[in-house]
Chains A and B, each alone.
Chain A
């Protein structure tokens, strides 16, 4: 029994059906961690991308190093680092929040590259034309560059959203009770791992198929010639 829900051990199918409500609780945690982690990655990645564009080596070199370091080290170890080191400095966060921050940190390295590549993909002629028209820098970004970069950026960000979904089970390593964690707990108590683990795999498959389909729908609907910001 979990969350007041009893499982039915009479047959594999009955067992599978009876634990669905339990796993769906975990699914909610999975989605929450994904959304929070993604929002952190979007914001922090933008900060990294902007800092790297500052033409001062004292700033953009360390930032480039941090981004590279975040990208090339495992999420699990970063998660342990945050989970066990932050309390030493008096910052005790709940496991879920630590997990979402770890997801956000790891993926901020990827999103910052997406922003950068998106801005760089805007044709040079656009920058030159803005310069020739004597537009102030702020207007160049707001009215010319960013609107054209957005359609290139959004599909790539969407793909990382799907990746984050698949990385959330790692949070179970620091006691976050998401889908995979629930499945192993059910397995520990019933000595039946096959059904809950297979079911979690299936739920992930459904989740990622739906979300990658949504990303493709959004991608197709984006206008190629840019999204005006005003």
Chain B
């Protein structure tokens, strides 16, 4: 029990790094998801091709390969990012590519009557996208986004392999020092689990807040 308590402070310091990485990379991912998800539906073909290439490359290759590429290979092309930036970018770009498919799917799921009504009312394209289509689509996006956010939290563990001192990295260090594998890894797993539960609860609240504002509720399904 005493060893268990002595393990908490160093692991919590790592958990803080993990939480920060998860939040920042989720932000990057959200921006990329909307940009490329909307871009894939663009009528302007260069934007469409750029979006498709981005989505396919980041969904088609492994996250760890992307991270290693940004951290080890990119400096050889003259761009040195440092571990933190490489980690955040890899996580954000990766989850953003998955999010893009969610954004695209949700936009396509908005009933065509909404588009027709916007045309009939002579709304501009921009007004139609931002004020008619996206608010309704956003409600549909929230449940799958919830899954992706947890996925991203779990993925942050990989940054320990490019030397960032997140929760997993601290756990590895502690094990190398003390060899107390069982309490260290059990506690680490529990900390990740608690963070995931908190994230899920937060996403539910956000989902409800958005649904209230838009006045539409999402069809719930988990996978």
Contact = CB atoms under 8 A, between A and B. Distances in A.
A74 interface: yes
A74 B155 contact: yes
Interface of A is mostly: helix
B68 interface: yes
A84 B174 CA distance: 13
A190 to B, nearest CB: 11
Interface residues of B, number: 42
The size bracket of the interface on A is: 35 or more
Contact of A76 (B157, B182, B196): B157
A1 B200 CA distance: 49
A119 B201 CA distance: 27
A75 interface: yes
B180 to A, nearest CB: 10
Interface stretch (A14-22, A133-141, A195-203): A195-203
A75 B193 CA distance: 12
Nearest to A202: B61
A88 B181 contact: yes
A165 B150 CA distance: 20
A80 B60 contact: no
A146 to B, nearest CB: 20
Which 3 residue pairs are nearest across A and B when measured between Cβ atoms? A74-B157, A72-B196, A84-B181
Interface of B: 56-57, 59-66, 68-69, 72-73, 76-77, 150, 154-158, 160-161, 168, 171-172, 175, 181-182, 185-186, 188-189, 192-193, 196-197, 200, 221-223
22 contacts: A74-B154, A74-B168, A75-B154, A76-B157, A76-B168, A77-B168, A77-B185, A77-B188, A77-B192, A80-B172, A85-B182, A88-B182, A113-B222, A169-B64, A184-B72, A194-B73, A197-B72, A198-B73, A201-B66, A204-B61, A204-B62, A208-B61
